[in-house]
Structures are given as C-alpha cells and as structure tokens.
Structure 1
C-alpha cells in the first residue's frame, strides 16, 4: 500500500454510527459522492477506485432498509458509508494504514448528515497494535 510503512504495521480503524440523521442527505447520491472526495482531501489519501455508490430499495418489511451504500478504495485502505433512510441511520468506516485526524473526519461527516446522536469507536489494528496493547496492559 502506498504511504504505508510495512515495518510499522499498524492500521487505524474509525467506526461511526449516526442516528436521527437528515434523511434527505442520506438519500442524496451527489452529496455522498462529494463527501467521499472531501474525505480523501481531509485524510490526505489517494484514490485507487471509486467511489462506487449503489442505491438499495428493500422490500417494505425487509430489515435491511433502504438507502445508499458507498465504497472507495484508497492506497491507504478504504472508506465506506451505508445509509438507511427508513431509520435515519448511517454507518461509516474509515480504515487506513496511515494515521489521520479523527476530529476533522467527524466534523465533516456531522456537517453532512446532521445526526441527533453519534457513537464512535476507534481501533488500532495489526501487530503494532498488539504490542501497544501489551505495553499498556503491563504499565
């Protein structure tokens, strides 16, 4: 992967769950496409493929909802966004071998989707993460 130091072997994974979002924005393919472009600039990542955005319309009684799913492959890994207009929910993953500013990513996404509630998880992954976890556990 371009820009990833293999010796470091740490990956950064931000997972955001947003609830009570502006449904119009969750269903706006153009907004989603622009959002992917904005994120690559904020993250200073390099697009390899995408964004690919697919509209899904589930059956009325389907638990899988209705909305847009977008995925973009970047040299540093990927960004994915999945919306559900029935519930006002969006899930977002930013996965990278390169450190990034979580606050800037959150700010950009909150501005776009206007959630009433947001949950965030950040995971450090890979061999370096395991070493970090062991170091933290022994202190």
Structure 2
C-alpha cells in the first residue's frame, strides 16, 4: 500500500526551523523535485518558537515538526504506490536541510492487505 519514512534531522540551519515560509518552500520544492503532486501545504508557527506543517500530496503527505531550541526537525513522508517517490522526497529534504546528523526509518504500510 505505501512507504512511510521517518526522518530525524539534527543540527539544521536555523532558518528552516524558525521561518514558516522557508520551511514550507523547502518541503514543497522537495515534493515537486521528487515528482510528487502537491495538493496543499498548511503550516503553523508556534510562540515562542517551533513550526508544524503538512504538505498534502496526491500520493499522501509530508509532515514536519521543528524544535529550534534543540536544533532538530522530525519529518514523516508517507506515499502510496511507487516507493521511489518517498525516497526521492527524503533525499531532496536532506539536501535542503543539510543536517550534521540524521537518522531514517522506513516502514511498509499495509503489508498484509490483499
């Protein structure tokens, strides 16, 4: 059914962790460059800091939460169909965030469905 990639990014550029427009642009462009179809981005800026957002894509979604105080972002990429789309989105995001450290977990969603 789908591929779900959990990405943990440490020591990222501060701009992407605190500026809503920069974060939204990075994720939308990552989806576009990976060949996904962007439906709608929705982002929220918290006070005093931190962002959460989702980019709804025709293939499913990309979700992000940032913690600037820890220089950290957590990103979920979920796509149905071609798993290469999810992996291309991941690569595009990591290139834009340029984290000092990252970790990735890949899950197969719905593997027991007919």
TM-score, normalised with respect to structure 1:
0.70
Two-structure CA RMSD over aligned residues (Å): 1.9
- Number of residue-to-residue matches in the alignment: 112
Where does structure 2 lack aligned partners over 5 or more consecutive residues? none
Tell me if the contact between 1:25 and 1:112 (Cα under 8 Å) persists in the aligned partners: no
Gapped regions of structure 1 (runs ≥ 5): 1-9, 59-65, 132-139
Match of 2:90 among 100, 103, 106: 106
1:54 maps to which residue?
A: 44
Tell me the CA shift for residue 76 of structure 1: 1.5
For residues 69-110 of structure 1, the C-alpha deviation after alignment (integer angstroms, 9 at most, x for no partner) is 111222211111111110000011110112224553333222
Task: Name the TM-score, length of structure 2 as normaliser.
Answer: 0.83
4+ residue segments displaced more than 3 Å: 101-104
Distance 1:32 1:101, change over 3 A: same
Whether 1:116 and 2:100 are equivalent positions in the alignment is yes
Give the structure with the larger strand fraction. Answer: 2
Q: Which has the larger radius of gyration?
A: 1
